[in-house]
């Protein structure tokens, strides 16, 4: 099975910082990579699918890139409301494995 | 608008059974593979099982194989998860999850999930 490895597992940054979270697949998954945001006590929300397509309503400071095995989620200017845990997920074929998550703090 | 409403969770003893259900609306349910995802308390997201659009292909995470059974009724836009031989480590919130592009067509959120507590 393909493993999904996120880094870092936790991250502390300041308001206005550029933040990058990476996700690496142990084998190629083309562009079948989604990013989820889960705020404390809330249900997960899809931010990005197809590696780079933003869900409508997601602020443009979020962006996704990558293909194959290496992917990134970038927040261009961190805002207080971005405090959350972020997960990547492969969805090219089962098992639809998640990364272990990246906890982002201000 | 995509809506997912999970139900059926509760308190069950180790070795017991539960059947979870998910009512889906706001998208053409019968076209898409559907998934169950769970989250143990304080832990990350874990994919549990998936079922293809017309139930041709079923897949399970290794720790669920032989204990959990996923099924769907496209006429009723419903997804089920039969959970048998439950273990303490199966405790968590269980979410019904469509493909990410389907969730993204709505608000992006999954349903609220249903809590399963396995305890003696």
A87 vs B44: CB contact, 8 Å cut-off? yes
Task: Check if B58 contacts A (Cβ < 8 Å).
Answer: no
The C-alpha atoms of residue B96 and residue A38 are separated, in whole angstroms, by 15
Average pLDDT over chain B, rounded to whole? 97
- pLDDT band (50, 70, 90) for residue B106: confident
Average pLDDT over chain A, rounded to whole? 97
Task: Check if A15 contacts B (Cβ < 8 Å).
Answer: no
Report pLDDT digits (tens) over A46-74.
999 999 999 998 999 999 999 999 999 99
User: At B76, phi and psi to the nearest 5?
Assistant: -110, 5
Task: Check if B41 contacts A (Cβ < 8 Å).
Answer: no
A95 vs B47: CB contact, 8 Å cut-off? yes
Task: Check if A32 contacts B (Cβ < 8 Å).
Answer: no
B104 vs A96: CB contact, 8 Å cut-off? no
- pLDDT band (50, 70, 90) for residue B33: very high
Cβ(A2)–Cβ(A27) under 8 Å? Answer: yes
Rounded-to-10 torsion of CA A88, A92, A96, A97? -50
- Residue ranges in chain A modelled with pLDDT below 70: none
Cβ(A99)–Cβ(A79) under 8 Å? Answer: no
CA-nearest residue to B93 within chain A is A43
- pLDDT band (50, 70, 90) for residue B28: very high
B100 vs A34: CB contact, 8 Å cut-off? yes
């Amino acid at each position: 099975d393909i493993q999904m490895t996120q880094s870092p597992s936790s991250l502390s940054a300041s308001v206005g910082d550029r933040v990058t979270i990476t996700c690496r697949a142990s084998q190629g998954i083309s562009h079948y990579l989604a990013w989820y945001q889960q705020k404390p006590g809330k249900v997960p929300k899809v931010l990005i699918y197809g590696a780079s397509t933003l869900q409508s309503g997601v602020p443009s400071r979020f962006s996704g890139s990558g293909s194959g095995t290496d992917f990134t989620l970038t927040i261009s200017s961190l805002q207080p409301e971005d405090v959350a845990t972020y997960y990547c997920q492969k969805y090219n074929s089962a098992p639809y494995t998640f990364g272990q998550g990246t906890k982002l703090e201000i | 608008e995509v809506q997912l409403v999970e139900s059926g969770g509760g308190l069950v003893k180790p070795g017991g059974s539960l059947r979870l259900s998910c009512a889906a609306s706001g998208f053409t349910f019968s076209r898409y593979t559907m998934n169950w995802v769970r989250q143990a308390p304080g832990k990350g997201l874990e994919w549990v099982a998936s079922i293809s659009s017309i139930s041709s292909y079923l897949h399970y995470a290794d720790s669920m194989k032989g204990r959990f059974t996923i099924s769907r009724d496209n006429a009723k836009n419903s997804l089920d998860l039969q959970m048998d031989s439950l273990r303490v480590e199966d405790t968590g919130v269980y979410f019904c999850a469509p493909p990410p592009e389907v969730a993204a067509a709505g608000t992006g959120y999954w349903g609220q999930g249903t809590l399963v507590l396995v305890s003696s």
